[in-house]
Amino acid sequence: MTTLPASTTRKLGLVIDLDTCVGCHACVISCKGWNTENYGAPLSDQNAYGADNAGTFLNRVHSYEVQPEGDAAAQLIHFPKSCLHCEDAPCVTVCPTGASYKRVEDGIVLVNESNCIGCGLCAWACPYGARELDAAEGVMKKCTLCVDRIYNENLPEEDREPACVRTCPSNARHFGDLGDETSDVSKLVAERGGMDLMPEQGTKPVNKYLPPRPKDTLPHEGHDLDVLAPFLKPVAEEPKGFLGWLDKTLEKL
Amino acid sequence: MHPAPSVIFFTTFSGLGFGLLVFLGLGYPGVTGWSAFAFLTIAYVMAVGGLMASTFHLGRPERALKAFTQWRSSWLSREAWCAVGALVLMGLYGAGLVFFGTRVTALGVLGAALSLATVFTTSMIYTQLKTIPRWNMALTPVKFLSLSLAGGGLLAGQLTIALVLLVIAGGVQLLTWKEGDKALAASGTNMATATGLGDRGTVRAFEPPHTGTNYLLREFVHVVGRRHSQKLRLIALVLMTVVPVLLLMLPFSHIIGILAIASHIAGVLTARWLFFAEAEHVVGLYYGKR
């Protein structure tokens, strides 16, 4: 059914920390790796080694430069983007075949690939560019929140989280139930002021983004810019004793 | 949006075909026998041809029948039902006209209503998308319906009505362009809200996520067409409305009628190409494009 559930038991999703993301793209690669070898059709590449290469990815990392007003320094922010598993997911209701659906038990938005006709309308309806039509398979691909990892009892417990979260070296991605106020991810969102992307689109995304912390500001005039400078002053300015005599003698020659 | 030829042909010709079916269903012209057969053939070739063209942009056309299942929520599914319903009813109605020389009024009116509903559902597929502010307005269905009826009237040879409808369709088209140009800015979606970083300064796309292209850029970010949009709008409007209206004012002959139809179709195809090529999908904002 392509109608949305009135409510979901849990709201599983990601919290992405824009403050700590270093833009290494490890999440992009681990996502592509896991989702090519597991659930659903593989994520194909076209002309991978040629000049005009392209491929399907479920997670991509943009980089933005933010220039504050005045003469403050610009900030570079790496910005991973994947499906936000929206509560009011417009991609679900437009689907003519019922292939696109939102799960009642955990809120994950999935595509039943054997029902997908590849019309692309769900990708048209998604404001975030989270869906990509696979050029080889002709069906719509999207983030599954690694549904085949998070419940997989064949994996060690620490691996039962999305591949992108598991791999992130800077701990910029967190996975959990955003419907539960006491969960770690919900606390993180409350503490750091987690935000929605494009709230005006009315999609009510489950995934939240933690804004970058403000950059250190330059000290006011009159203050020493370099806090380490006092500790780094040379201790012995003039040589003493034998070295002092030698220094003076050599100077006179 | 990428102006895919299959979708341009589909919306243009199915719009014209169903527009003609509306007129035939209502009994304008009140033809029977071979003459009715000729009119119905034109209408079916256009409507069915258009629907067939639309399957060419599917990734998995062999599963197209599954599109009938979600009529409760999906405009695309509702369109499929309306189209099949209209074609079946008008087929029965047409059989009456062609083989028995009788007009079953109720069947014709119902068929006409479903034909109009098909055009409406097609337009709603585009209108419902908040992600494309240029389409997301009440004028979009008005435009599709007025164009379909004008073209249908022209094909049905209902010259006086066609003349009025062509002028209305031209006016609606002009208004759509005028309002559409303001739509993206009015939607409130921009790079600031897309990234959520707008409150700390001016956001600029520094590096895209990939060096090559991808599905999103091919499908949603089409900037080439906008360069000549003003010229193309003029060409579309002249071919779609001005030329047919002038031709219809001349003493009627079949040559003039065919010229008017040809010009109208060329104009609608141009306008439909622009409809897609000019439309800005908000996902382009993530790439610093629109």
| Closest-CA residue of chain B to A50 | B212
Q: How far is B235 from chain A (nearest CA, A)?
A: 28
pLDDT band at B99 (very low <50, low <70, confident <90, very high): very high
| Class of residue A190 by CB neighbours under 10 A (exposed 0-12, middle 13-18, buried 19+) | exposed
pLDDT band at B151 (very low <50, low <70, confident <90, very high): very high
Report whether the peptide linkage leading into residue B29 is cis, meaning its omega lies within 30 degrees of zero. yes
Q: Supply the pLDDT for residue B255.
A: 92
Domain with residue A25: its CATH number is: 3.30.70.20
Q: How far is B195 from chain A (nearest CA, A)?
A: 6
Q: Are B89 and B110 in contact (CB under 8 A)?
A: yes
The DSSP symbol for B224 reads G
Q: How far is CA A213 from CA A18, A41, A58, B203, in A?
A: 9, 39, 27, 16
Q: Supply the pLDDT for residue A244.
A: 83
CB contact under 8 A, A66 and B200: yes
The reply to whether A76 falls in a domain is yes
ipTM: 0.93
The reply to whether A104 falls in a domain is yes
Q: Supply the pLDDT for residue A72.
A: 81
The reply to whether A168 falls in a domain is yes
* Among A96, A100, A181, CA closest to A143: A100
Q: Supply the pLDDT for residue B252.
A: 83
Is A76 near chain B, with CB under 8 Å? Answer: yes
Q: Supply the pLDDT for residue B290.
A: 75
Measured distance CA(B192)–CA(B203) in Å, rounded: 6
What are residue B72's phi and psi, to 5 degrees? -70, -35
pLDDT band at B54 (very low <50, low <70, confident <90, very high): confident
Number of domains in chain A: 1
The reply to whether A240 falls in a domain is no
Q: Supply the pLDDT for residue A253.
A: 80
Q: Which residues, other chains included, contact B143 with Cβ-Cβ below 8 Å and sequence gap of 6+?
A: B123, B169, B172, B173, B176
The one-letter code for the residue type at B165 is: L
Cα B59 from chain centre: 21
Mean pLDDT calculated for residue range B3-30: 94
The DSSP symbol for A9 reads S
Average pLDDT, chain B: 94
Tens of pLDDT, residue by residue over B158-187, are 999 999 999 999 999 999 999 999 999 999
Q: Supply the pLDDT for residue A221.
A: 58
The one-letter code for the residue type at B25 is: G
The reply to whether A222 falls in a domain is no
Measured distance CA(A12)–CA(A108) in Å, rounded: 7
- Which of B60, B62, B126, B285 to mutate to probe the A interface, most A CBs <10 Å? B60
Tens of pLDDT, residue by residue over B239-286, are 999 999 999 999 888 899 999 999 999 999 999 999 999 999 999 999
Q: Which residues of chain A are modeled with pLDDT < 70?
A: 1-2, 216-225, 236
- B202-207 vs A12-17, strand pairing mode: unpaired
The reply to whether A68 falls in a domain is yes
Is B124 near chain A, with CB under 8 Å? Answer: no
Is A64 near chain B, with CB under 8 Å? Answer: yes
Tens of pLDDT, residue by residue over A174-187, are 999 999 999 999 99
- What is the residue range of A59's domain? 12-210
Q: Is the pLDDT of residue B232 over 70?
A: yes
- A12-17 vs A208-210, strand pairing mode: parallel
Interface of B with A in 261-290 (CB under 8 A): 281-283, 286-287
Q: Supply the pLDDT for residue A204.
A: 96
Q: Are B25 and B44 in contact (CB under 8 A)?
A: no
The DSSP symbol for A195 reads B
Q: Supply the pLDDT for residue B223.
A: 76
Q: Tell the CATH topology of B5-287.
A: Formate dehydrogenase/DMSO reductase fold (1.20.1630)
pLDDT band at B62 (very low <50, low <70, confident <90, very high): very high
Q: Are A115 and A99 in contact (CB under 8 A)?
A: yes
Looking at the partner chain, which of B67, B131, B187 has a beta carbon nearest the beta carbon of A96? B67
The reply to whether A5 falls in a domain is no
The reply to whether A143 falls in a domain is yes
| Closest-CA residue of chain A to B79 | A96
CB contact under 8 A, A2 and B74: yes
